[in-house]
Structure 1
C-alpha cells in the first residue's frame, strides 16, 4: 500500500521526547536546593527584639540594604546576600554609593537587643547624614511559648 505515510519500508521517525532523564535531573536539583536554602539565609547573629508590629509593604523589587549591629557593637552592611563588616565612619560612604547605584532602595537596621539605644541612634544618624530619608527597623514577632 502506497500512502503519504509509507516511505518504501523505512520506519517513520518518532516525534516524542523522552522526559524521564529531565525529571531525574529536576528532582536532584530540587533536593540540592532544599538542602542548601537554609544555609543561604545565614548572616550576622543578632538577637532581635520581639515586638508585635505590622510588616511593611515593599514597593520596590530590589533587595533592601540591611545594616546590622551585633552584640559586640560591630557594624555589618549587607545587600542581596553579600555581607561585610564595616566601621561606622565608612558606613555612610558605602551606603551613599549603594544608593547612587539604585536610588529608592530601602534601608533597614537590625540591632541586637543588648546593644545600647544610643549606638542604634548613632547608626541611624549616620545613615541620615548619608542621605537616607527613611530607615526601617527589623524586629521579630513575639514567640508563642
Structure 2
C-alpha cells in the first residue's frame, strides 16, 4: 500500500494550456484568407468620391469630362466645348486627346436618372481609349 501512495504523489496535474492546436487553426485560417482576399477585390478600378467630400482643387485647367444625360446621349467636354456625340466617336476623340496630353484628368458625369448600364458603357469606352483612371463627378449633399 505504501507503493501506491508514492505513485500518486509523483503524478501531478499539468496546469498549462497546450496552444499548438490553436496555432494550427490560426495558420489554416490565415492561408484561407490569403487565398480568398484577392478574389473579393475584382472589378473596375474607379476612384469614387464621397458625396459630402470637399471639392478637389485642380492644378491643371484642362479636364476632359464625359457625360451621359437622362435620355442616354453622350457628351464630351474639352475646355468648354460640349456637343452630343456617339460612343464610337467619343472613344476616338478621347484617344486623340490622350495622345496629345496623356496626363489629362478624365471625369465621368452621369445623370441620376440614367441607367447604370449607360454609365458603365461610357467607362468601358473610355478604358478602350486608354484612360488609366476615371473620376466620378457628384453634386454635394
TM-score greater than 0.5 by the shorter chain: yes
Q: Which runs of 4 or more aligned residues in structure 1 lie more than 4 Å from their structure 2 counterparts after TM superposition? A: none
Which residue of the partner structure matches residue 52 of structure 1? 52
How far is the alpha carbon of 1:94 from its aligned partner? 0.5
Gaps of 5+ in 1: 1-49
2:136 paired with 1:140: no
2:83 paired with 1:81: no
Which residue of the partner structure matches residue 62 of structure 2? 63
Structure 1 distance, partners of 2:114, 2:92, is: 23
Does structure 2 retain, via aligned residues, the 8 Å contact 1:70–1:115?
Answer: yes
Q: Larger Cα Rg: Structure 1 or Structure 2?
A: 2
Does structure 2 retain, via aligned residues, the 8 Å contact 1:75–1:85?
Answer: yes
2:89 paired with 1:126: no
Which residue of the partner structure matches residue 91 of structure 2? 92
Gaps of 5+ in 2: 1-49
SS at 1:119 equivalent: helix
SS at 2:122 equivalent: helix
Superposed, which structure 2 residues align to 1:31-42 within 5 Å? Answer: none
Q: TM-score, normalised by structure 1?
A: 0.59
SS at 2:135 equivalent: strand
Structure 2 distance, partners of 1:54, 1:87, is: 33
Structure 2 distance, partners of 1:134, 1:70, is: 21
Structure 2 distance, partners of 1:106, 1:112, is: 20
- Count of residues in Structure 1 that have an aligned counterpart in Structure 2: 92
SS at 2:107 equivalent: strand
How far is the alpha carbon of 1:57 from its aligned partner? 4.1
Please report the RMSD computed on the Cα atoms of aligned residues, expressed in angstroms: 1.6
Which has the larger helix fraction? 2
